[in-house]
Amino acid sequence: MVSRRLPATDDRIVPGTEDALSIDLDGTPVDGLRGQTIAGVLLGSGVLAWRRTSGSGKPRGVFCGIGVCFDCIVTVNGQRDVRACQRRAADGDRIETQHDALPEPTTENDPFGDRT
């Protein structure tokens, strides 16, 4: 899959002026346009995945694109679990990818008891 941002001259919707912005993804600057979501900025720059699943560590990015699946969560300016497809990007936003390991089973969170 290839993602890219169309130049305004090729956009049939004829958008207004393009106000550039820059966000930081784990220390790497990523350029976008005012009005784009964080997911839109990342996808437009060719970044397809920015989270890893807890169990198998598989890459995730946008799945539903409408705020339902939570596959796209990132940390934005220190706030965890932000849906990148729902948050509009702001110039200077600091985005951190997320990867959380599954918790170890304990007697409190394991309803079936001892699994050893």
Which position among 41, 74, 76, 85 is part of the footprint of ligand FES (CB under 6 A)?
85
Contact 46, 4 (CB under 8 A): yes
Compute the least distance from the CB of residue 39 to ligand FES, in Å: 6
Residue with tokens 């130049």: 7
**Residue 51 lies near ligand FES (rule: CB under 6 A):** no
87 binding ligand FES? (CB under 6 A): no
Tell me which stretch binds ligand FES (CB under 6 A): 21-29, 51-59, 60-68, 103-111: 60-68
Strands (E), the chain: 20-25, 28-33, 51-52, 59-60, 73-76, 79-83, 94-96
Verify binding: residue 43, ligand FES, rule CB under 6 A: no
Q: Residue 47 interacts with ligand FES (CB under 6 A)?
A: no
Question: CA–CA separation, 116 vs 102, rounded Å?
Answer: 17
